[in-house]
Amino acid sequence: MNLLDISASYFWISSAEVRNVEPYPDTLKRINDLTWKTCDKLREVDDIEFLDEILDILFSEKFKSAFERTEAFYILIEKLQKVVNPKLTKK
Cα separation, 50 vs 61, whole angstroms: 18
SS3 content of the chain, % helix, strand, coil (to 5): 75, 0, 25
Q: What are 3-43's pLDDT values in tens digits?
A: 899 999 998 999 999 999 999 999 999 999 999 999 999 88
In sequence order, the 6+-apart residues with CB closer than 8 A to the CB of 77 are 3, 4, 7
Q: pLDDT at residue 91 above 80? A: no
Domain boundary assignment for the chain: 2-88
For residue 51, count CB atoms less than 10 angstroms from its CB and return exposed for 0-12, middle for 13-18, buried for 19 or more.
Answer: exposed
Per-residue model confidence (pLDDT) at position 30: 94
Taken in order 64, 67, 73, 77, is the CA torsion positive or negative?
negative
